[in-house]
Amino acid sequence: MPILPSEPDIFPAELLDCLDAVEAPGGQWWAMYTLARREKELMRRLRAVEIPFYSPLVPRRTRSPGGRVRESFVPLFASYVFVYGDQQQRHQALTTNCVSRCLSVSDGGQLVHDLRQIHHLIELDAPLTIEARIEPGQRVRVRSGSMAGLEGTVVKRRGKDWLVVAVEFLQQGASVLLEDFQVEPL
């Protein structure tokens, strides 16, 4: 049981589903690099002023010294919150005292595609492993199962196949163990 319930990690809820998030005039994606452990505070402040954002949160289970299992929700990409908006909204986000620096995303379409895939994996409740760097390998698409349509790179680790779904802009991603899924090369 979590200590606190999970807070929304996306605002508005349909942000990644609408095509307007890629093509709206005057809008742009920004990667806000936060001060240490301030991602959730930045998300709360952005939600309060209705600025669209996404920062995937995943459950993490730990044991206390007394043996009690605790579950908390931590950012998948530490210190990053993806914000969509115009220059004024960017300025509002920077004035929250939570942001260390702001990076402009040059290919918003690719970022939305990557974040949709990460969001889908989290919704499936798949056991994710945070990947700090993307390893070179063959790009594939899952053909069947609940992960059908997801694209990524297959890597071999400890004799097992893992599918790495990447956020190319950050050169980071998450991996999920491939078991009976069929993949096809891209």
- With a cut of 90, say whether residue 23 has pLDDT above it: no
- With a cut of 70, say whether residue 1 has pLDDT above it: no
- With a cut of 90, say whether residue 63 has pLDDT above it: no
Instruction: Give the chain's domain count.
Output: 2
Q: Residue 71 has which token pair?
A: 């579950």
Strand-strand pairing, 129-131 and 139-142: unpaired
Q: What backbone torsions phi and psi does residue 139 show, to the nearest 5 degrees?
A: -80, 135
Half-sphere exposure of 95 (CA within 13 A, CB side): 8
State the CATH number of the domain containing residue 150.
Answer: 2.30.30
For residue 109, tell me if it sits in a domain: yes
Is the same domain home to 133 and 118? no
Q: Which of 35, 32, 48 is nearest to 98 (CA)?
A: 35
Give, in order, the Cα–Cα distances in Å from 125 to each of 52, 61, 106. Answer: 24, 14, 30
Range of the domain at 144: 129-185
Is the same domain home to 70 and 47? yes
For 135-160, the three-class secondary structure string (H helix, E strand, C coil) is CCCCEEEECCCCCCCCEEEEEEECCE
Q: Residue 3 has which token pair?
A: 């200590």
Q: Give the whole-angstrom CA distance, residue 164 versus residue 142.
A: 11
What percent of the chain shows pLDDT beyond 70? 90
- With a cut of 70, say whether residue 185 has pLDDT above it: yes
Q: Give the whole-angstrom CA distance, residue 55 versus residue 69.
A: 25
For residue 4, tell me if it sits in a domain: no
Is the same domain home to 31 and 81? yes
pTM of the shown model: 0.82
